[in-house]
Structure 1
Amino acid sequence: MTNSPTGGPGNGQQTLVAPSILAADFAFLARDIAAVPSADWLHIDVMDAHFVPNLSFGLPIATAVQPHTDKHLDVHLMIADPQRWAKDYADFDSVTFHLEAVDSLAAARELAAQLRASGTLAGISVKPDTPVDPLLDHLADFDLVLVMSVEPGFGGQKFRPEVLGKVRALRERIDRDGLATLIEIDGGIGAETAAQAAAAGVDVYVAGSSVFGAPDPDAAVQQIRQAAVQAQ
């Protein structure tokens, strides 16, 4: 596993495409993972049917992915009580939990510190209607900020462009302070919306159905990356 974000202080905006295995065929995960060799990361959505209304999978399925790839495995915990469960995923490359699932920003910073001490990158995620303003003075405490561009819980939703204001605010603060914190976006991402997100300052593009629902998943990954690079 990797122990540092791609890039570093002052390195500026990155372009990383992270196909979400939530949109893959669960009966053939190894096959579908192999179908996206151009991916930079693989995104693993864990849902508990409490924090979000859907149930996906937990640690056993996530762990089953590990022997089949050497890519950065990016876990997104859409679960209640992440303080209890997040550290179980510390063997993955990055673990992101939701700001809305903890009691306070102080609790989020404490959990992020625990994850980092366990050897993984720590991410914080916000739903479309949650502001990022409280995070702006504490971005150094997180390795990535995941901005949801749909309501979390289901794939295939339409991209909400109004969240890009949060991306711009994050990009400005990260660049101003010379931080390595990455900005990730998840929800309704394809080539067109990746271009919009890139122009706002996103580093990591999570794409599910637009990749694994495409006739050629790897070509879809490359199209997303190309659109993002051209829009930066």
Structure 2
Amino acid sequence: MSNVQISPSLMTMDLDKFKTQLEFLDQHVDSYHIDIMDGHFVPNITLSPWFIQEVRKISKRPMSAHLMVTDAPFWVQQLIDIKCECICMPAEVINGLAFRLIDQIHDAGLKAGVVLNPETPISVVEPYIELLDKITIMTVDPGFAGQRFLASALQKIVALRALRDQNGYKYLIEMDGSSNRAHFKMIDEADPDIYIVGRSGLFGLNDHIDTAWSQMVKDYEEITGKKLNK
């Protein structure tokens, strides 16, 4: 049986069925993944801290914010103000700020993470890796749903697990990008702790969220040979 956590990317959900989908998913998922893009770090603009507050009116599950922004301190403070459970910052823009931002998040009683884009090596976060609660590995280029899956990025998941085992680090390892039937086998072999599922892996499988969820579970179990305990 698989103990992986499932975190749907709400950027790809059907907003016409916002309440219905969240009420169903709350019975099955471990957390929600909230993409926050500023139009500068990536060209798209998506969700916001306000959206997290709207989700909280319906959901009891923890939320993890994935920042794709150039001004990390501005957004981190907003997310601290609304007590977003986990704040994941872009490793590419927090050099020189990482220690103080991680401390700021932890001092607020929240979890701090970083996100590594496909071209970004693990070495970028090694100076503060022992402080992290989560590391997200992008297996697609950031900013848009439906990007090409980059299998080479999975090697970083394997390396991060080895580093954690060797050093007793506490971070969870999350993968973000094209988590679906076509890639479940490769992802399972890399062995992340958290799968982010979006349009191709969940919301696009069927117009009805219960049917889409059942199909996602079936796909995972058929491809990996493991039962998904959800």
Partner of 1:214: 205
The 2-side partners of 1:94 and 1:186 are apart by 15
For the pair 1:94 / 2:56, whether they are aligned, the reply is: no
The Cα shift of 1:82 comes to: 0.8
Cα distance change on mapping 1:27 and 1:79 into 2, 3 Å: farther
Partner of 2:159: 169
Partner of 1:21: 10
8 Å CA contact 2:11, 2:47 repeated in 1: no
Partner of 1:68: 58
Partner of 2:118: 128
The Cα shift of 1:160 comes to: 0.8
The 2-side partners of 1:46 and 1:220 are apart by 28
Structure 1 unpaired stretches of 5+: 1-12
Higher mean C-alpha deviation, range 190-199 or range 220-229: 220-229
The Cα shift of 1:137 comes to: 5.2
8 Å CA contact 1:112, 1:141 repeated in 2: yes
Partner of 2:172: 182
Cα distance change on mapping 1:220 and 1:184 into 2, 3 Å: farther
- The residue type paired with residue 29 of structure 1 is F
Partner of 1:5: none
The 2-side partners of 1:128 and 1:40 are apart by 25
8 Å CA contact 1:171, 1:183 repeated in 2: yes
The 1-side partners of 2:190 and 2:97 are apart by 29
For the pair 1:31 / 2:46, whether they are aligned, the reply is: no
TM-score by length of 1: 0.86
Secondary structure of 1:68 counterpart = coil
8 Å CA contact 2:34, 2:47 repeated in 1: no
Partner of 1:83: 73
The 1-side partners of 2:138 and 2:36 are apart by 15
The 2-side partners of 1:72 and 1:225 are apart by 23
The 2-side partners of 1:176 and 1:137 are apart by 16
Q: Deviations over 1:26-74 (max 9, x none)?
A: 2332222223232111111111111111011212122100121111211
8 Å CA contact 1:191, 1:228 repeated in 2: no
8 Å CA contact 2:52, 2:63 repeated in 1: no
- The residue type paired with residue 151 of structure 1 is D
Q: CA RMSD in A?
A: 2.1
The Cα shift of 1:184 comes to: 0.5
